[in-house]
Chains A and B, each alone.
Chain A
Amino acid sequence: MKKRTQKHTDLLQGTLDMLILRTLIYGAAHGHQIGKHIQRTTNDFLQMQHGSLYPALHRLERRGWVVSKWEMAPDRNREFKYYRLTKKGKKQLVVEESKWKRMAEAVARVMWPATTEES
């Protein structure tokens, strides 16, 4: 069962970045929260791989789309590394989103030509 879900999570290159940026729209979050959020929202369809989550977070930070800061968690008495969206990151999200939309439409046209024509 677990194996199957893992296969589903082979995300398209760059998609993970977009999902992370989208998640951070709601406010700062640490790595674990981001992973959990994506997993929960997709009803466990996208099982978060930490091996790609952390490199992705650091990649985004390096590009200046997010910034990180060690902060106290409100519910637990411990510090976590919180990531926050920057202005540049917000712009990037728009770009990624529209790219993804176009991509999805293109894929859809190939996959279900009749339905697309009707609509």
Chain B
Amino acid sequence: MRWWQIRKRDQDVERELESDLELEEEEQRESGVSPGEARHAALRAFGNPTLISEQTRAVWSWTALENLHRDIRIGVRTLFRSPGFSSLAVLVIALCIGATTSLFTVVHSVLLRPLPFRDPDRLVMIYEHFRDPSMNALQFNLNAVAPADYYDWRARTLGFEDMAAWRYWQFNLTGEQGELPELIQARGGSWNLFPLLGVNAVLGRTFTESEDRTDGDAVMLTWSLFERRFGGDPSVVGKQIHLDGKPYTVVGVLPKWFTYPDAKVEVWVPFASGLPPEILAHHDYHFTRVVARLRSDVSLASALGQVEAVQHQLHLQNLHAPVAEDVAPKTLIEDLAHDVKKPLIILLWAVGCMLLIGCLNVANLMVARSAARQKEIAICSALGARRFTLIRVQLIESLLVSVAGGVTGALLSLAATNWLVSAWRDLPSARSVHADGVVLAFACVLFISAALMAGVLPAISSTSKQGIGTLQSSSHTATCGRTRTALRKTLLTVEIATTVVLLIAAGLLLKSFWRLRTTDLGCVTDKVLTMGYSLPAKKYDNPEKVNAFNETLLERVRSLPGVRAAALGLVVPGAGHAGDDAFTIPEHPPIAAGTAQPVALYRRADPGYFSALGIPLLSGRFFTSSDRVGRVRTVIISRLLAQQYFPGENPLGQHLHMVPYGNADYEIVGIVADALHQVGQPAKPTMYFPILDGESDRGLTLVVRTTANPLTISVPVQKVIAKLDPQLPVFDVLTMQQLIEQSLGNASLSASLVIGFAVLSLILASIGLYGVLSYLTTQRTGEIGVRMALGAQREQVLRLLLGQGVRPALYGLTLGLAASAGAVRLIQSMLYGTRPLDPAIFAAVAATLLGVAALACLVPAWRASRIEPMQALRTE
């Protein structure tokens, strides 16, 4: 008989016992006992049939299962009897588990799961590395590689199976049949990149070596563009598409899962395609990312050593140029996770703290419950329930709460993960983020440990007492459960300490974020609209055409109603690094060999740029419309550049020699105030070149300052552009405020998440405090009644109880402040303009916590002080 035949088995046992009992009865009758007595005599001889049948059934090992079933039923019933407790506990666990699981999902897919490439452990990124520590401060410790360096590394070292390269690019994709033009993200990949990663095209093929040339016109589509723009039609392979007005032949389509280096990439072209040969031969144009596959029989150190030797040689050959001395490796995962790693780990800590607080809270609730059920449990054990059974019942109860909480939490985390992934802009999207087996297992381990933690502690403490003792002490409630109170207070202290740590971290992050938000960029940010466009080189093939377009555009935009000023620049302040260049000063003696060449951010500006953005002129002049192609080459420098490279001199009239832009001298005609290139980063020396000088072939940013809401002007401006060139796409239509917010996206997200966790923890902690104090108060009702009957004042009672509640809060606060002093070191590097031991934050957190704690204690304490002594004494 199998376990599902329990019922049949039970009936069988009953029937067997009944028939044997009847036989016994008959025999008793036959031996002369009166019929009325026979039954009793038979039962006497037989024993208790119920007990026997139970013992018999126990032989079949389904008893354990039956007991479990029974315990679960009892547990569900008990939980439903106190819906307030149950829903609170489930909610707490669901929130904690939901938050933990989603963050773990993200961490797992971003930092832990190996990349979907062939043998990903042997892939490594190689960067150039400057030894000069001042370069490290400028984040040149991992510098992009110059193409010529990459070619030399590949040709002259043996430690790697192969090295591949890729670079950033973007194209203007125009349609044949009048589809809208659009600006698409592209990457240039060396022909061996895909074989090196172990990626095959799903349609067609990857690049061949012969296509990886300057005039190579092959293109591969990523799955997203293939689906979106070409309707997933396989016949697109072999056809031509137009990028920047030039025909390219589609040779293949990449698989759907391939979203390296990020999901925004739409096409791949060969690495060298479209690059002038002189750039490929340059050792100081740093724009290449190098992926290398280590040979299985060579250690990373020795393989890198070879590359380093080559690089050092190159450095010695190019002392005049910024060619690094060294190389430095980085794993692919770290390369993709870049600045996400730190906030993720901090969030994980925050969530861990919250999980701990949640468990402590649930444990606290459970202890409170078991205290309320003391008598029930005492009666049960007096009736013969074993301690193990009692613990098991309570354990199952907490397991039920955890499972309910866990299931709700898992659903919650599905939603939260989706939200997190969409809200987190910089999250590397090379791999899709979705829950998988590991994450589920993680969640399961979480629930079970939560259940054990929340169940075992109260269960053990509530059954450790002698039942009789509890029954006896029920008339002196003040004395009983002292150990339990101590346990609850300890739990509470730990809970409050953890909350303090979270609150302090959140406070620091908030302050740092606020500092970032209020940074002065050095330019006007209010009512400014920016949008980008990029004139294709094929159509605008000479400087006159470019200038004509730009000048006409500015003129027309300026004449729009509501426009205060319009200007053109390469980028606006706050929009990021956007490129830099090395320069020399012909008036100065040549720099000593081996010292780093001066480098400054590269910017372009039209005559109206500085005045439109409110960047003040310090000396000299702004550009005029005569600073254009064919005239004297001019440049405007920032205050920091003047201060750093012309100390004690007048830079006006001196020159900057620029190798990349015509290998010419540029006369310094003006000095402007510093503007930050990125919020949260120190200002950098900057040089501005006139847009009209004919060197401009890159994308430009149109800046429009308006009198009213800047977004209302965006459609009229786009219409102006469409009228001038219907094939020209605009991109990144953003106000300056939006631009800044976008660049702060992560800081604001992690600050608000940590604050969310901290506030939740504070609420949990105050629930805990409230719970403990109301429990204590109920317990001491009789005692308070006696005190008041003997003449204690209401204020005295209030003070007594308040002191009792606030004391664990004070302990917790002290402990938490001490722990925070250590924990803040973790987030030190994420803070901007905020000291980790900021006294204001520490004081504010202490005050908030004490305030909330006092409030949580006040309610039960006040209630206790209102007790009518006579009534209290009567409740005994």
Partner-B contacts on A (CB < 8 A): 30-32, 49-52, 54-55, 57-59, 62, 76, 78-81
Contact = CB atoms under 8 A, between A and B. Distances in A.
B16 A54 contact: yes
Nearest to A48: B45
A54 B18 CA distance: 12
Contacts of A58: 13, 56, 59-60
Contact of A50 (B13, B26, B52): B52
B58 A55 contact: yes
Contacts of A55: 52, 55-56, 58-59
A80 B46 CA distance: 16
Nearest to B51: A51
Interface in B175-194: none
Given A55-B52, A80-B19, 19 more contacts: A30-B16, A30-B19, A32-B20, A49-B47, A50-B17, A50-B47, A51-B48, A54-B13, A54-B55, A55-B59, A58-B13, A58-B56, A59-B59, A76-B26, A78-B23, A80-B23, A81-B12, A81-B15, A81-B19
Interface in B25-58: 26, 46-48, 51-53, 55-56, 58
Contacts of B16: 30-31, 54, 81
A62 B19 contact: no
B24 interface: yes
B52 to A, nearest CB: 5
Contacts of B19: 30, 78-81
Contact of A30 (B20, B47, B51, B60): B20
Interface residues of B, number: 22
B24 A32 contact: yes
Most B C-beta atoms less than 10 A away, residue of A50, A79, A80 = A50
B46 A50 contact: yes
B20 A62 contact: no
A49 to B, nearest CB: 7
Interface of B: 12-13, 15-17, 19-20, 22-24, 26, 46-48, 51-53, 55-56, 58-60
Contacts of A57: 56
Contacts of A81: 12, 15-16, 19
A12 B23 CA distance: 28
A54 B54 CA distance: 10
A51 B55 contact: yes
B20 A31 contact: yes
B154 to A, nearest CB: 74
A62 B52 CA distance: 17
A58 B54 CA distance: 12
A56 B666 CA distance: 106
Given A79-B19, A80-B19, A81-B16, A51 B59 contact: no
Contacts of A49: 47
Nearest to A2: B44
Contacts of A50: 17, 20, 46-47, 52
Contact of B23 (A51, A59, A76): A76
Most B C-beta atoms less than 10 A away, residue of A51, A59, A78 = A51
Nearest to B59: A58
B47 to A, nearest CB: 5
Nearest to B23: A32
26 contacts: A30-B20, A31-B16, A32-B20, A32-B24, A50-B17, A50-B20, A50-B46, A51-B47, A51-B51, A51-B52, A52-B55, A54-B13, A54-B56, A55-B52, A58-B13, A58-B56, A59-B59, A62-B59, A62-B60, A76-B26, A78-B22, A80-B19, A80-B20, A80-B23, A81-B15, A81-B19
A76 B23 CA distance: 9
B18 to A, nearest CB: 11
Contacts of B22: 78
A44 B451 CA distance: 54
A94 B501 CA distance: 72
Contact of A54 (B15, B23, B52): B52
